[in-house]
Amino acid sequence: MTLDEFSRVLLLSSGVLLLAVLAVRLSARTGLPSLLIYLGLGLVLGEDGLGIPFADAEIAQVLGYGALVLILAEGGLTTRWSAIRGVVAPAAVLSTAGTLVSIGVVGVGAHLLLQTTWPVSLLIGAVVSSTDAAAVFSVLRSVPLPRRLSGLLEAESGLNDAPVVIAVLALTEVAGGTAHHAWWYFAGEAVLELVLGTAVGVGIGAAGAFLLRRTALPSSGLYPVAVLALTVMAFAVADVLHASGFLATYLCGLVLGNARLPHRHATRGFAEGFGWLAQIGLFVMLGLLASPSRLPNALVDALLVGLVLTLLARPVSVLVSLAGFRMPGRELLFLSWAGLRGAVPVVLATVPVVAGVEGSERLFDLVLVLVVVFTLVQAPTLAPVARRLGLIPSTPTQELDVEVSPLGTLSADVVQVRVGPASRLHGVEVFELRLPRGANVSLVARDGATFVPQPRTVLRRGDDLLVVTATSERSAVEERLQAISRHGKLAGWRSSPNGE
């Protein structure tokens, strides 16, 4: 590639990236995941549009895996443990047992409706059974659901990629005639990969948090780089050990994101930026890989499989998986409708293509059309469905925006707090905060001006506070501020048991 060619590539890439960023505005207004717009950009640039050739499924698979690593890392880093702590068990069951149920139901439906062989039918079921982290994170975080319900959906989307990838790889071997082991061997291997992936992700996340809390790096910009590197390392280490790299990545991000590291806000912003970049690149690439001229032929098959998945497989998997958790019927109904598909199924559809499985191109087209059509149907309806079921609270809770910076060798931290529009810190006087001993509100920024507050200073919405505290008391300070933000000046030192 010459320098001139490189410049033209940069011009095209930057233009596509800017269009994708502007498309987020449209996505926010319509309720549709922006991934569909990115996919459309790829189709416009591809062979039937501007004519950019791209047909290498193997490269697409590798780049897709890389993008999914960044998306899952961002999902873990931005998920609050307090939001999912009470739903880890149901999310784990839904992402494993529920996935198996979904694979079986879709497999039976595909076999009866499409007349495909049993291995290929089950492979179709495995490819489409994973809810997509990017789609769930982008859509559900704009729907003010109860924290328990949104936490369950986020945890499920972060956890179910691992078992689905294992199932797709195993069924690809069976469908391609290269499998040489009995079903129980694959089952045991799947369990081992999930256990090892969990150990690697939690281990690297805990070790990384331990080191970063005790290392005063010379620049705040180095902390986000180190955190993201640890999540990528978790995937690589797990993959080398033949464990689940996707599970390791998500859990590593979850541990690091909740470890109260320095410059946490900057780290979250950095991870979100890479997550957006990964989503944009992934779906533009998948659009380039697709052949629009073939997609109409897959419409009927995609609709049939999608209807089985949406109206039968997903509800049955939810009911079977969560039967022992005594969840209200309206929550089960919403969970049955909220199984969004996106990047993961399309990326996994490249696995049988690379392996040369007969009929794999038909499968890829089917999955791509299914994702587009059913995302168009489901995503905009999530908020109305939640409202109809009475799941959207009348007074949504907004988390306090808290940033922490270390003061080097002084064993002290500066906690920066922004009082949000829904925060009940509004109207609270400084002395009513009752912060732990050794902590003090040292500065308030309001309407472009800063001042040192007095004990009777009243806090207002939009205020930025600087709280200086001993490092050992930082957690107690954050917990106290969060409690008042949610429950007002009479809040206890701990939040309510259900985390509301």
Domain C-terminal end among 340, 356, 388: 388
DSSP code per residue over 362-388? HHHHHHHHHHHHHHHHHGGGHHHHHHH
Indicate the residue among 327, 353, 388 that finishes a domain: 388
Same domain, 407 and 364: no
Helix axes 222-240, 245-257, angle to 10 degrees: 150
Q: What is the pLDDT of residue 101?
A: 94
Residue 388: its pLDDT value, please?
87
Nearest-CA neighbor of 242 among 200, 204, 187? 200
**Is residue 239 in some structural domain?**
yes
Residue 460 belongs to a domain with what CATH number? 3.30.70.1450
| pLDDT value at residue 188 | 84
Report d(CA 323, CA 334) in Å as an integer.
Answer: 15
Tell me how far apart the terminal alpha carbons of the chain are, to the nearest angstrom: 56
CATH number at residue 83: 1.20.1530.20
Alpha carbons 280 and 467: distance in angstroms, whole number: 38
* Token pair for 454: 């007095």
Among the candidates 388, 418, 450, a domain finishes at 388
Partnered with residue 246 across adjacent β-strands are none
| Residue 407 belongs to a domain | yes
pLDDT at 18: 87
Same domain, 430 and 292: no
Say if CB 29 and CB 23 are below 8 A apart.
no
Residue 401: what pLDDT? 60
- Looking at the domain assignment, is residue 396 inside a domain? no
Note whether 241 and 364 are same-domain residues: yes
Per-residue pLDDT in tens (0 to 9) along the chain, 500 residues: 777 778 888 888 888 888 888 877 666 665 566 777 888 888 888 877 777 888 888 898 899 889 989 988 988 888 888 778 888 899 899 988 999 999 999 999 999 999 999 999 999 999 998 887 666 766 666 667 777 788 888 888 878 888 888 889 889 988 887 777 777 777 888 889 889 999 999 999 999 999 988 877 777 788 899 999 999 999 999 999 988 888 999 999 999 988 878 777 788 888 888 888 888 888 888 888 888 888 889 999 999 999 999 999 999 999 999 988 888 899 999 999 988 887 788 888 999 999 888 888 889 999 999 988 888 888 778 888 888 888 876 544 445 566 556 665 566 778 888 888 878 888 899 888 888 888 888 889 988 888 999 989 999 988 888 888 887 787 788 888 888 888 887 776 444 433 34
Tell me the Ramachandran region of residue 326: left when phi exceeds 0, alpha when psi lies from -120 to 50, beta otherwise. left
User: CA 446: distance to chain centroid?
Assistant: 34
pTM comes to: 0.74
Contacts of 203 (CB under 8 A, 6+ apart): none
186 assigned to some structural domain: yes
Q: How many domains does the chain have?
A: 2
Provide, for the chain, the percentages of residues in helix, strand and coil under a 3-state DSSP scheme, each rounded to the nearest 5: 65, 5, 25
Quick one: CA dihedral 214, 217, 218, 219, positive or negative?
A: negative
Domain around 449:
401-487
Pair 251, 324 in one domain: yes
Local structure of 145: helix, strand or coil? coil
- 374, 411: one domain: no
Partnered with residue 445 across adjacent β-strands are: 450, 464
